[in-house]
């Protein structure tokens, strides 16, 4: 996985998210008149300091979550830190912030991958190759159509992922905002606005549809990438040799080999993303007002789903951007039987290029959908 993605879901990033949540809470509470400006300033100052990520994580493990030790540290100088909030408010909001930042990187990789697919669809609009069903040659297609299909998958996955976002979380101990008296909803609104997160109708401490939606969509995006990686691997086989990966995947002992490293790693990432999303789905049913176990399992799983999906997209973007396409080989690989169907439907094509049906128009449609 790309270093920026790993950084975006690191313990340090989660800590930044928690500090940002605590800061925004204090600011919102001061605006709403719940705490004084001076008290808020102390919190903001404390949130701006740096903390020992490892130590907090270690201590957090002992008490069940890392917010408790962090709050203790903040309160050394800012006794109104975390006023009226519960640990999950801060951690869920940190999760939303981490997810937002990491998702931007994932989106960018998916955009890049879509662009690479679109370019291939356009450039190879007329590059005739064998269609293959159940891994047997069927009627001809063009490589542009294949790339257009890939493009469609990425566009759909990207569009569906785009609307997956985690809202701000603020509910206090049991989700009633009781410790904030009359001002709970005001604080919640200001808090979400400050952070640029959406405000949910009610706290979602144990109603995790947004988390599972995000997790599932990441796995689906990784799956759309996986399909491309699978096709590239198959096309890059020695016996097919219609494409070659750009990456330096040469073998130490077999210099002639050009391993499809990018698509292999993309596939590995897709498997990982799917596993992590499965954990998120399995963790959806959470007890009463805060779960004992299912919630805690989300932290690592969501980080992994984000990083692995971004990793899959990044590997495949790089791979397609530098993909070497052997149009001549594509043409010569086509089996003489490829046109055997044609006669049955009253066609007498001179060659594969004459039995492509609506291929060209379909590519246009995929490109139009992409550019929309």
Q: Which of residues 116-175 bind a copy of itself (CB under 8 A)?
A: 130-141, 145-146, 148-150, 152-153, 156-157, 160, 172-175
Residue 16 C-beta: closest distance to a copy of itself, Å:
21
Residue 301 C-beta: closest distance to a copy of itself, Å:
6
Structure tokens at 190: 């200001």
HSE-up (13 A, CA, CB side) for residue 9:
25
Query: Exposure string (b/e) for 95-107, b if CB count within 10 Å is 16 or more?
Result: bbbbbbbbbebbb
Reference 341, options 327, 357, 359; nearest CA is: 357
Do 313 and 220 contact (CB within 8 A), yes or no?
A: no
Residue 165 C-beta: closest distance to a copy of itself, Å:
12
Closest to a copy of itself by CB, 124 vs 208, is: 208
What's the gap between Cα 36 and its chain centre? 40
For β-strands 136-142 and 243-244, DSSP reports them as unpaired
Rule CB under 8 A: is residue 112 a binding residue for a copy of itself?
A: no
Of the candidate spans 11-19, 43-51, 110-118, 243-251, the one that interacts with a copy of itself by CB under 8 A turns out to be 243-251
Closest to a copy of itself by CB, 115 vs 213, is: 213
Residue 237 C-beta: closest distance to a copy of itself, Å:
5
Structure tokens at 239: 């016996």
Give Cβ neighbours of residue 267 (< 8 Å, ≥ 6 apart): 226, 229, 230, 233, 312
Residue 93 C-beta: closest distance to a copy of itself, Å:
17
Residue 298 C-beta: closest distance to a copy of itself, Å:
8
Distance of alpha carbon 36 from alpha carbon 31, whole angstroms? 9
Catalytic residue among 36, 198, 250, 251, which? 251
Binds a copy of itself (CB under 8 A): choice among 79, 257, 324, 351: 257
Rule CB under 8 A: is residue 200 a binding residue for a copy of itself?
A: yes
Of the candidate spans 7-15, 41-49, 65-73, 101-109, the one that interacts with a copy of itself by CB under 8 A turns out to be 65-73
Cross-strand bridge partners of residue 244: 324
Distance of alpha carbon 108 from alpha carbon 117, whole angstroms? 14
C-alpha distance from residue 184 to each of 40, 75, 195, 259, 331 (Å):
16, 21, 17, 58, 68
Rule CB under 8 A: is residue 353 a binding residue for a copy of itself?
A: no
Rule CB under 8 A: is residue 234 a binding residue for a copy of itself?
A: yes
Do 245 and 236 contact (CB within 8 A), yes or no?
A: yes
Binds a copy of itself (CB under 8 A): choice among 45, 230, 327, 331: 230
Residue 17 C-beta: closest distance to a copy of itself, Å:
19
Binds a copy of itself (CB under 8 A): choice among 115, 249, 327, 331: 249
Structure tokens at 201: 């109708």
Catalytic residue among 23, 80, 183, 290, which? 290
Residue 33 C-beta: closest distance to a copy of itself, Å:
13
Catalytic status, residue 251: yes
Closest to a copy of itself by CB, 328 vs 337, is: 337
C-alpha distance from residue 239 to each of 137, 233, 236 (Å):
14, 12, 8
Rule CB under 8 A: is residue 209 a binding residue for a copy of itself?
A: yes
Do 101 and 302 contact (CB within 8 A), yes or no?
A: no
Catalytic status, residue 290: yes
Of the candidate spans 13-21, 22-30, 93-101, 361-369, the one that interacts with a copy of itself by CB under 8 A turns out to be 361-369
Binds a copy of itself (CB under 8 A): choice among 45, 279, 327, 353: 279
Do 62 and 44 contact (CB within 8 A), yes or no?
A: no
Binds a copy of itself (CB under 8 A): choice among 94, 116, 180, 330: 180
Rule CB under 8 A: is residue 284 a binding residue for a copy of itself?
A: yes
Rule CB under 8 A: is residue 206 a binding residue for a copy of itself?
A: yes
Structure tokens at 87: 């640990």
Distance of alpha carbon 228 from alpha carbon 35, whole angstroms? 54
Element (H, E) at 17: helix 11-31
Reference 171, options 254, 65, 89, 286; nearest CA is: 89
Rule CB under 8 A: is residue 77 a binding residue for a copy of itself?
A: no
| Residues annotated as part of the active site | 251, 290
């Amino acid at each position: 996985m790309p270093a920026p993605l790993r950084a975006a879901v690191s313990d340090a990033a989660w800590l930044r998210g928690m500090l940002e949540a605590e800061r925004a809470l204090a600011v919102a509470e001061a605006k709403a008149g719940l705490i004084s400006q001076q008290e808020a300033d102390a919190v903001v100052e404390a949130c701006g300091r740096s903390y020992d990520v490892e130590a907090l994580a270690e201590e957090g493990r002992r008490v069940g979550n890392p917010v408790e030790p962090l709050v203790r540290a903040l309160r050394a100088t800012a006794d109104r830190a975390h006023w009226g909030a519960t640990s999950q408010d801060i951690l869920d909001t940190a999760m939303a912030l981490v997810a937002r930042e990491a998702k931007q990187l994932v989106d960018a990789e998916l955009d890049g991958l879509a662009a690479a697919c679109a370019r291939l669809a356009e450039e190879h609009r007329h590059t005739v190759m064998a269609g293959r069903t159940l891994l047997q040659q069927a009627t001809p297609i063009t490589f542009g159509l294949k790339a257009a299909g890939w493009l469609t998958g990425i566009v759909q996955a990207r569009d569906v992922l785009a609307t997956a976002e985690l809202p701000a979380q603020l509910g206090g101990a049991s989700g009633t905002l009781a410790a904030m008296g009359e001002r709970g909803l005001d604080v919640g609104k200001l808090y979400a606005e400050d952070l640029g997160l959406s405000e949910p109708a009610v706290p979602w401490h144990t109603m995790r549809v947004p988390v599972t939606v995000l997790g599932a969509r990441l796995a689906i995006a990784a799956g759309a990438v996986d399909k491309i990686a699978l096709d590239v691997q198959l096309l890059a086989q020695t016996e097919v040799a219609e494409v070659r990966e750009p990456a330096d995947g040469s073998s130490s002992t077999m210099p002639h080999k050009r391993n499809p490293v990018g698509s292999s790693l993309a596939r590995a990432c897709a498997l990982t993303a799917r596993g992590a999303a499965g954990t998120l789905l399995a963790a959806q049913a959470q007890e009463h007002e805060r779960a004992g176990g299912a919630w805690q399992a989300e932290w690592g799983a969501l980080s992994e789903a984000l990083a692995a999906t971004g990793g899959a997209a990044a590997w495949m973007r790089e791979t397609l951007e530098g993909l070497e396409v052997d149009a001549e080989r594509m043409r010569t690989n086509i089996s003489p039987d490829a046109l055997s169907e044609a006669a049955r439907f009253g066609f007498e094509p001179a060659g594969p290029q004459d039995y492509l049906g609506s291929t060209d128009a379909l590519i246009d449609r995929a490109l139009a959908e992409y550019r929309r």
